[in-house]
Amino acid sequence: MIDMSAPMSNLPELEPKSVTNPPVATIASLAAHVGDTVTLRGWLYNIRSSGKLLFPSFRDGTGTIQGIVPKAAVSEEVFERVKSLTQESSIIVTGRVRADARAPSGFELDVENLEIVQLVPESAPYPITPKEHGTDFLMEHRHLWVRTPRQSSILRIRATIMRAAQEYFDTNGFVRTDPPILTPAACEGTSTLFELDYFGDPAFLTQSGQLYMEATALALGKVYSFGPTFRAEKSKTRRHLTEFWMIEPEVAFMDLEGDMDLAEAFLIHIVSRVLELHRADLNVIGRDIAKLEAVIAPSNQSVILSEATAGSESKDPDASKPSDTAQSLSAAKVEGAEGASAARSAFPRLSYDEAHAMLESAFKDGKLEAPHIYGDDLGSPDETYLSSQFDKPVMIHRYPAASKAFYMQPDPLDPTKALCVDVLAPEGYGEIIGGSQRVDSYDLLKARILEHGLPLSAFEWYLDLRRYGSVPHSGFGMGIERAVAWICGLDHVRETIPFARTLNRIYP
């Protein structure tokens, strides 16, 4: 487990080089410059004036700060120049940093000088004004919308989520091995593929790197990939992007229980990092921070649903039997997760059957509009209901195999169930992680490929992994945007990625 107090990286923070004097500072670093005269480079966010006093607020990508320009304190020329500023004009401003408890950033800038880099003409003003705009308008101007404080905060948190996710694997013995994006076959179902012409042959944009990760896991033991993935279903839900980023670990000799332990430790690390580094950004976007703190807090026994979990674990003592090595690897992970603190956060784990029973009684109590049909995958309202019942992510495991992917290992205790898990984020966010133990028998995998009507020839290489030294192995995939939506508390995934690709949008 990682030392949470260690710095994120050993690389020094670099400030942009400046030819101006005094040196260029960033708004985020002003605490170290109180009383000093600094130069900031950025843009005018907004300006208010009351006669002889101007209040321009500046942003520089690291934050925003309010400047104060009394007419008497600067030259006539500088005063007029500041007064002429229009929204989003680019500027270089010099001033003295003053601590001010009333200011949202904690500081104000007594402006001494200001140069205009480019003045946005008044005849063609910046289109996004501080007034309310509709989402369609904002998405159409996404290239500008990213400049607003809320969107900038979300993108900073996204960057930390991506960095923390990689950091977790990089510091726990995983080797990053990225799969191809252009692929000859489907991984997650043939109806959801973007097809393209590969020098006369059909090829597809990858839906998941998983099958390739299985190959590199059998080469290197613990691997992960991180890259863009694509889904072509014509879905318009608030959780669906056609292009999104997925991080996918895969581990040889790991069973489903080990996979769930890994997903838990991984999510706790990510949420911990965001809480450690982004309190200010979380406040800008109005996130209820207590909800995130609850995720990493040591578990209270009544919350972990210990009966349900213990029940499903003790019922199947053989679940992790495929090999002793699998057991010890999964045990090592739990130990690692516990190493951080004696009382650890444990996420509730429910079998599909247990989840179904909860949905049934919710429907009876009028808390769900439609009944959940046993055997069906969980619908969005079902996931929303289940995930809103817990203050930690909930893991739903062992779904009916019939509704799941061809590569999932059947449960030896009940082969109608797949050894798979979906992690549902709390507060109704639904699935953020999907994973499973993979079929390790050659005969069974071949039968599954044929049953699913997949072309055997495209999967010969994948079958080789079962011909030569097959072992039980497991992994999962987490969609970064789903994680960002949950951690930032957003209604829709379109705000979680710099430029969203959705059913109706490929511009800008």
Other CB atoms within 10 Å distance of the CB of residue 507: 10
**435 lines the binding site for ligand 4AD (CB under 6 A):** yes
For residue 73, the 8-state DSSP code is G
Let me know how many helices (H) and strands (E) the chain has, helices first.
15, 18
| Interaction partner, residue 495 (ligand 4AD, Mg ion, none; CB < 5-8 Å by kind) | none
**158 lines the binding site for ligand 4AD (CB under 6 A):** no
Q: Which is nearer to ligand 4AD, 94 or 436 (CB)?
A: 436
Q: 1: closest CA among 221, 171, 206, 236?
A: 171
Dihedral angle computed from the Cα positions of residues 191, 196, 197 and 198, in that order, rounded to the nearest 10 degrees: -100
| Interaction partner, residue 248 (Mg ion, ligand 4AD, none; CB < 5-8 Å by kind) | ligand 4AD
Q: Which is nearer to ligand 4AD, 322 or 477 (CB)?
A: 477
Looking at residues 414 to 473 of the shown chain, list those that interact with Mg ion (rule: CB under 5 A).
434
Q: Which is nearer to ligand 4AD, 466 or 482 (CB)?
A: 482
Residue nearest to Mg ion (CB): 434
Contact between 459 and 411 (Cβ < 8 Å) = no
Piece in contact with ligand 4AD (CB under 6 A), picked from 20-28, 324-332, 396-404, 470-478: 470-478
Quick one: three-class SS letters along 114-134? EEEEECCCCCCCCCCCCCCCC
Look up residue 62 and give its two tokens. Answer: 């690291």
Q: Which is nearer to ligand 4AD, 172 or 208 (CB)?
A: 208
**433 lines the binding site for ligand 4AD (CB under 6 A):** yes
Look up residue 443 and give its two tokens. Answer: 């005969």
Piece in contact with ligand 4AD (CB under 6 A), picked from 46-54, 105-113, 167-175, 474-482: 474-482
Q: 287: closest CA among 412, 154, 420, 180?
A: 154
Dihedral angle computed from the Cα positions of residues 13, 14, 15 and 17, in that order, rounded to the nearest 10 degrees: 170
Q: Which is nearer to ligand 4AD, 89 or 210 (CB)?
A: 210
Contact with ligand 4AD (CB under 6 A) among 210, 309, 320, 409: 210
Piece in contact with ligand 4AD (CB under 6 A), picked from 75-83, 149-157, 434-442, 461-469: 434-442
Residues in contact with ligand 4AD, shown as a per-residue x/- string from 317 to 356 under the rule CB under 6 A: ----------------------------------------
Contact with ligand 4AD (CB under 6 A) among 208, 216, 299, 437: 208
**477 lines the binding site for ligand 4AD (CB under 6 A):** yes
Region label for 366, one of left (φ > 0), alpha (ψ between -120 and 50) or beta (otherwise):
left
| Single-letter code of the amino acid located at 142 | R
| Interaction partner, residue 88 (ligand 4AD, Mg ion, none; CB < 5-8 Å by kind) | none
Looking at residues 372 to 431 of the shown chain, list those that interact with ligand 4AD (rule: CB under 6 A).
431
**226 lines the binding site for ligand 4AD (CB under 6 A):** no
How many residues touch ligand 4AD under the rule CB under 6 A: the total is 24
Distance CA 17, CA 70 (A): 30
**434 lines the binding site for ligand 4AD (CB under 6 A):** yes
3-state class of 227 per DSSP? strand
Q: Which is nearer to Mg ion, 95 or 434 (CB)?
A: 434
**490 lines the binding site for ligand 4AD (CB under 6 A):** no
| Interaction partner, residue 79 (Mg ion, ligand 4AD, none; CB < 5-8 Å by kind) | none
Minimal distance, residue 210 CB to ligand 4AD, in Å: 4
**348 lines the binding site for Mg ion (CB under 5 A):** no
| Interaction partner, residue 246 (Mg ion, ligand 4AD, none; CB < 5-8 Å by kind) | ligand 4AD
Contact between 114 and 91 (Cβ < 8 Å) = yes
φ/ψ of 354, rounded to 5, equals -65, -40
243 exposed, middle or buried (CB, 10 Å; 0-12, 13-18, 19+)?
middle
Contact with ligand 4AD (CB under 6 A) among 60, 108, 167, 188: 188
DSSP, residue by residue, 322-388: T-HHHHHHHHHHHHHHHHT-SS-----EEEHHHHHHHHHHHHHTTSSSSPPPTTSPPPHHHHHHHHT
Piece in contact with ligand 4AD (CB under 6 A), picked from 239-247, 313-321, 327-335, 339-347: 239-247
Distance CA 421, CA 349 (A): 9
Distance CA 31, CA 13 (A): 16
Distance CA 231, CA 207 (A): 6
Half-sphere exposure of 79 (CA within 13 A, CB side): 14
Q: Which is nearer to ligand 4AD, 79 or 406 (CB)?
A: 406
Alpha helices in 20-173 (DSSP H): 76-83, 135-140, 142-145, 149-170
For residue 221, the 8-state DSSP code is S
Distance CA 25, CA 334 (A): 44
How many residues touch Mg ion under the rule CB under 5 A: the total is 1
**240 lines the binding site for ligand 4AD (CB under 6 A):** yes
| Interaction partner, residue 231 (ligand 4AD, Mg ion, none; CB < 5-8 Å by kind) | ligand 4AD
Helix, strand, coil share of the chain (percent; to 5) = 35, 25, 40
Contact between 377 and 403 (Cβ < 8 Å) = yes
Contact with ligand 4AD (CB under 6 A) among 257, 304, 475, 495: 475
**482 lines the binding site for ligand 4AD (CB under 6 A):** yes
Judged by the rule CB under 5 A, the positions of this chain that interact with Mg ion are 434
Judged by the rule CB under 6 A, the positions of this chain that interact with ligand 4AD are 187-188, 208, 210, 231, 240-241, 244, 246, 248, 431-436, 475-479, 481-482, 493
